[in-house]
Structure 1
């Protein structure tokens, strides 16, 4: 390949929605610099006739084929055609499924899209999303006790996008802005069920984010909202608040939303593990 950026056609062929393949492709591409990946999505491919139409398009724009196909006939046809065309083809889930099958002593199911069935986890995720949407920016604080997580932080510390991401992982998440002129309700510090997490960031980074936000809204970018001294005071106030109430803090300065959410989920799990260990210890020490 020539030029400053390598161009790659990436064909994602799935008998389901293709979400798994998209995540795998994204993770793989992140390891390479200077690549212009043109992704072609081919979801719900469950018949040989449908596959033949997909292969026609792949032939016009050859590249790497990544696939997840359960049906043996469709899968074999794709593999044979790609081999005859000299195109690279990968089934990324095969090693994992093979290892699980061996360890569990079971043959993997051949039902396409089984991970997307409307089971209890699905409805839990929908419930979490609904809860999170109506508990954004300090709203609905009367029932924060029903949340799994409550995020707190000054304006533009990624509270809302992180909340939405966590909701998609099945966690009911509320969030509240920390404003020195309007302290949060006292009930925030007395919550028993949800884990309260503080989000913070570097002052200069926050100045840039807020200034871009004002420009996007067509507002003057030079206000107290983006004053460095004022922002430093806001962040200091929030840090004192978190320290006074023993609230764990995550610095989002160099973290993506996914990385911040992963750190929060780790805190939730660690808290659950501690509670489980305490309960087990109490049961073990009970003479009855």
Structure 2
């Protein structure tokens, strides 16, 4: 059986060329016996292309390439023809057809898909982080978070955590209750990344009563009583003073509005 050596040349990480090369090879050698695939990623200069072609000549390799810049594709193709090396252009024909169909010129920017994938996975990671460290479940998350939200119950800590997570921020939140000491980790973090959320007693009284009613409970429970709310807010102010963190009044703010204020604030100290 003839030995097969394939060079995958890409101006990005080379995953597309690698997958396509394997899909083609599998139609001839399902077990990939006597087959070697070597990837050459981030190739964006004619000098590197010349070296790869020279190596392909020396080792009798087939070149499969995914180069988005037409100038680079043309250079590689002409060099392969000159050296009588077989080369397969994976992305060029598709770009040409798409450009003709859309009547637009391609960006020819390497690695866009990979950048989008990275962005997607960062967002998923942030969302999972927000769920894991919601409501003070695990104080260890405070030390890993980009943003830490603190406040009394019903100040939109969880919705804010999720909204900010979609913006790729790792957010943990801690509810403040007078009867429960905050975790030690809360006083170990950089105060600049801690945000206190405060709300007017009247608004909080209304929100808590509505919450109790939605749960089928009486709206006169201690949880919604005015004196209890004042006690919780006083305790909140005590903790905030100890940390020395920024405080945002969320009384008349939508989650998106509060999130934008937080993002702008966080950006100022990074």
Distance 1:194 1:241 in 2: 15
Out of 122, 147, 150, the residue aligned to residue 149 of structure 1 is 147
Structure 1 counterpart of 2:256, from 249, 255, 258: 258
* Residue 119 (structure 1) aligns with: 117
**Is contact 1:180–1:237 with CA below 8 Å preserved after alignment?**
yes
**Partner residue of 1:168?**
166
Cross-structure match for 1:271: 269
| In 2, Cα distance between equivalents of 1:123 and 1:253 | 33
In the alignment, is residue 230 of structure 1 matched against residue 254 of structure 2? no
TM-superposed CA distance for 1:186, in Å, is: 2.0
User: What is the TM-score normalised by the length of structure 2?
Assistant: 0.58
Looking at structure 1, the residues matched to 207 and 101 of structure 2 have their Cα atoms a distance apart, in angstroms, of: 49
Q: Once the 2 structures are TM-superposed, how far is the Cα of residue 244 of structure 1 from its aligned partner?
A: 2.3
Deviations along 1:82-102, whole A, 9 cap, x unmatched? xxxxxxxxxxxxxxxxxxxxx
Count of aligned residue pairs for this structure pair: 170
Unaligned runs of 5+ in 1: 1-70, 77-106, 273-288
Q: d(CA) in 1 for partners of 2:214 and 2:102?
A: 47
CA distance in 2, matches of 1:205, 1:255: 12
Partners of 1:149 and 1:133 in 2: CA distance: 14
Q: Cα gap change, 1:191/1:117 in structure 2, threshold over 3 Å: closer, same or farther?
A: closer
Shift in CA distance, 223/168, structure 1 to aligned 2, threshold 3 Å: same
The alignment partner of 1:137 has SS state of helix
Alpha-carbon separation, structure 1, partners of 2:170 and 2:192: 9
The answer (yes or no) to whether the contact 2:192–2:245 under 8 Å persists in 1 is no
How far off is 1:237 after superposition?
Answer: 1.4
Conserved 8 A contact 2:191-2:244: no
Q: Is the contact between residue 191 and residue 243 of structure 2 (CA under 8 Å) also seen in structure 1?
A: no
Structure 2: how far apart are the matches of 1:193 and 1:204?
28
SS of match in other structure, 1:253: coil
4+ residue runs over 6 A deviation? 71-76, 114-117
Query: How far has the Cα of 1:143 moved from its partner?
Result: 3.2
Native 8 Å contact 2:141 2:172 kept in 1 = no
Unaligned runs of 5+ in 2: 1-97
